[in-house]
Amino acid sequence: MRRRSLLALPSLLAMPVLAQGSAWKPSAPLRYVVPFPPGSSFDLVGRVVAEGAAPLLGQPVVVENRPGAGTLVAVQAVKTMPADGQTVLMVANSFTVNQSLHKPQPYDAQTDFDPLALLVETPHVLACHPSVAADFARFLAKARQPGAGLSFGTNGNGTSQHMGLEQLKLLAGLNAQHVPYRGVAPMLTDLLAGRVDYTFGNLSDVLPAIRDGQLKALGIVAGARHRLLPEVPTLTELGYGQLVSDTWYGVVMPAGGRPEVKAALSTAIAEAIGRPATRARMAEMGLEVLAQGPGALSHRIRRDTTAYAEVVRAANLTPG
């Protein structure tokens, strides 16, 4: 996986803010809003964080799945909530896309929310139903044929998978149509059944089906081959090194939180995901634990806001 130079909080895990006697703690169970349905790595990571953060915060952390409208349902709901630390929102790359995809702009990721922690990242794997192609060269040939074209499924409009596949379509001159779903699970169900042809899947989501032969891995968007799929070439090897497509997960809260509230939440969340046993579990799934603080997440948000705005413009994308 391509490494990035990220801002970090070196003392985040070594000196937990919660160890201080005057540290803030929530006064009631904390709402941890997840903008996707259950059944994906996103939801799994959220539940791991919630379980690990609860004893550190001294209150239960209740996961609330609120899918819909490419994460807009959850994001806009949390945006209007008090910045008291009682509600946090788990976000991914789509958090930065919707600013450009929707008009008028529904929110500003950099001013309407305070970043708390950058949790994990995972590369995207170009995977197809075995009936489509056996390798990338044959996939390209088939995807460039005139006529009805191929179909690519994603976990929703404006997700990082959608942006990456639209960029690949532009770069490679593919004849393909987007089929959005409400989450990873229904998309994978149709992909495994051959009702859609291919996707960019999170490594953690498609790895089991690839290992079982139910999906064919054609390439991976990374700077080097991945240890879990060493036989799969990178998109850079295949001639598409300019492609930007990965997935990261982070946590934010409504803007305006007090410094001690943000510090306590950031510390608890990063410690929950950064434990050695959790790191090992996530690594086997294809997720790299980052466990970094507000600066790292802010950096990622700025990077993707710029990159995805260009994809939306070049592909003339709309929310529908």
What is 28-120+247-315's CATH number? 3.40.190.150
Among candidates 160, 199, 193, 194, which has minimal Cα distance to 178?
199
Own/partner contacts of 137-143, CB < 8 Å, gap of 24 or more, are 139/198, 139/218, 140/172, 140/174, 143/172, 143/174, 143/175, 143/176
Give the C-alpha distances (Å, rounded to integers) separating 160 from 9, 24, 193, 202: 26, 34, 23, 10
CA–CA gap between residue 273 and residue 251 (Å, rounded): 12
Asked if the domains at 28-120+247-315 and 123-221 fall in one CATH topology, the answer is yes
CATH says 123-221 is which class? alpha beta
Cα dihedral 178, 218, 171, 106 in deg (nearest 10): 40
Domain definitions of the chain by residue range: 28-120+247-315, 123-221
CB 204 within 8 A of CB 287: yes
Q: What angle, 0 to 180 degrees and rounded to 10, lies between the N-to-C axes of helices 94-101 and 294-315?
A: 40
**pLDDT at res. 257:** 95
| Four-point Cα dihedral 104, 77, 272, 225, nearest 10 | -30
Whether the model clears a pTM of 0.75, i.e. scores above it, the answer is yes
How many other C-beta atoms are found inside a 10 Å radius of the C-beta of residue 91?
A: 29
Quote the CA–CA distance of 186 and 95 in Å, as a whole number. Answer: 21
Q: What is the pLDDT of residue 156?
A: 83
Instruction: Please give the chain's pLDDT, 320 residues, in tens.
Output: 333 333 333 333 333 333 343 489 999 999 999 998 887 788 999 999 999 999 999 999 999 999 887 788 999 999 999 999 999 999 999 899 988 888 899 999 999 999 999 999 999 999 999 999 999 999 999 999 999 999 999 988 888 999 999 999 999 999 999 999 988 889 999 999 999 999 999 898 899 999 999 999 999 999 899 999 999 999 999 999 989 899 999 999 999 999 999 999 999 999 999 999 999 999 988 889 999 999 999 999 998 998 889 999 998 988 86
